[in-house]
Amino acid sequence: MATKKKKLVIGNWKMNIFTVKEAKKLVEGIKKGSLKTKNTDVVVCPPFVYVSELKGLVSKKVALGVQNIFEEVQGSYTGEVSAQHLAQFKVSYVIIGHSERRVRGETDASVAKKITRALENKLTPVFCIGESTRDDHGDYLSFVKTQLATGLSGVSKMNIGDVVIAYEPVWAIGAKEAMNSNQVHEMSLYIQKCIKEMYGAMVPMPKILYGGAVNADNAREIVDRGYVDGLLVGRESLKVENFVGIITNVDLIK
């Protein structure tokens, strides 16, 4: 059952935090605030420009991630960053296929290649999926299933347990209210069912996270009652007290 694993809380800074000093202060605050947590791994995903400065702050509990990589290994791709660039900076996670990238043209095919590149370089892909709108006929379920199948097309049975799946309904990202925990539970079960259909019942289940309008007040309920393994957090990961509040509340779950 997915919920028995260690919890995972990932902060996506997006295009925020504008000085090295601020970035370091944020990570140091998060580290200090999570000293007493026992069951929760934490990841911070700053903009690329900070990874070299932050690599010295990586610890057992607080790991470093990035928000994207390029889909090819190397070559004439001006402005892109390869998975291979990142190992030397102690980066261990990469968010792939976030809806804010998909609306700017990132396709399922490109997401699939990026997931493969991440795994080849021992980075944990945080594979984002989620429908833009809900309908009464359940079309959103087949939409999510297709996103899963296409994105994971290069991932073998051997590797599926190394992927993290972040379910983020696009309508809840940046919104006032998160999805309710019953709906989160329904999607968590559905994603597990899709994975079993694709890989068989015996494979290790990837961690499943929820993302979209998570805060310190709703975090515990979403994880506990939504039966997910953790959270992908945007806005509320930018302030130490807010993010630490989320982490400590998730860590209280038995």
With CB under 6 A as the contact rule, which of the stretches 45-53, 66-74, 83-91, 227-235 interacts with ligand PGA?
A: 227-235
Verify binding: residue 226, ligand PGA, rule CB under 6 A: no
Q: List the structure tokens of 210.
A: 């929820």
Q: How far is the CB of 246 from ligand PGA (least distance, A)?
A: 10
* Backbone φ, ψ for residue 71 (5° rounding): -85, -15
Indicate if 120 belongs to the active site.
no
Verify binding: residue 214, ligand PGA, rule CB under 6 A: yes
Residue 133, burial from CB neighbour count under 10 angstroms (0-12, 13-18, 19+) = exposed
**Tell me, what amino acid is at 188?**
S
Of these, 56, 138, 174, 200, which contacts ligand PGA (CB under 6 A)? Answer: 174
Find, among 247, 248, 250, 249, the residue nearest to 44 by Cα.
247
Verify binding: residue 249, ligand PGA, rule CB under 6 A: no
Q: How many residues belong to the site for ligand PGA (CB under 6 A)?
A: 13
Indicate if 168 belongs to the active site.
yes
With CB under 6 A as the contact rule, which of the stretches 40-48, 110-118, 155-163, 206-214 interacts with ligand PGA?
A: 206-214
> At 79, is the secondary structure helix, strand, or coil?
coil
The answer to whether 215 and 236 have CB atoms below 8 angstroms apart is yes
Q: How far is the CB of 60 from ligand PGA (least distance, A)?
A: 24
Crossing angle of helices 219-226/181-199, nearest 10°? 50
Residue with nearest beta carbon to ligand PGA: 234
> At 103, is the secondary structure helix, strand, or coil?
coil
Q: How far is the CB of 99 from ligand PGA (least distance, A)?
A: 7
> At 47, is the secondary structure helix, strand, or coil?
coil
Find, among 83, 79, 78, the residue nearest to 95 by Cα.
83
Q: Which lies closer to ligand PGA via its Cβ, residue 102 or residue 235?
A: 235
Verify binding: residue 247, ligand PGA, rule CB under 6 A: no
The answer to whether 180 and 211 have CB atoms below 8 angstroms apart is no
Of these, 144, 233, 244, 247, which contacts ligand PGA (CB under 6 A)? Answer: 233
With CB under 6 A as the contact rule, which of the stretches 20-28, 62-70, 166-174, 221-229 interacts with ligand PGA?
A: 166-174
Q: Find the helix or strand (DSSP H, E) in which 66 lies.
A: strand 62-66
The answer to whether 112 and 149 have CB atoms below 8 angstroms apart is no
**Tell me, what amino acid is at 138?**
G
Of these, 164, 165, 173, 244, which contacts ligand PGA (CB under 6 A)? Answer: 173
Q: How far is the CB of 200 from ligand PGA (least distance, A)?
A: 30
Verify binding: residue 234, ligand PGA, rule CB under 6 A: yes
Q: What positions carry a catalytic annotation? A: 98, 168
**For binding to ligand PGA (CB under 6 A), which residues are involved?**
12, 168, 173-174, 211-214, 232-236
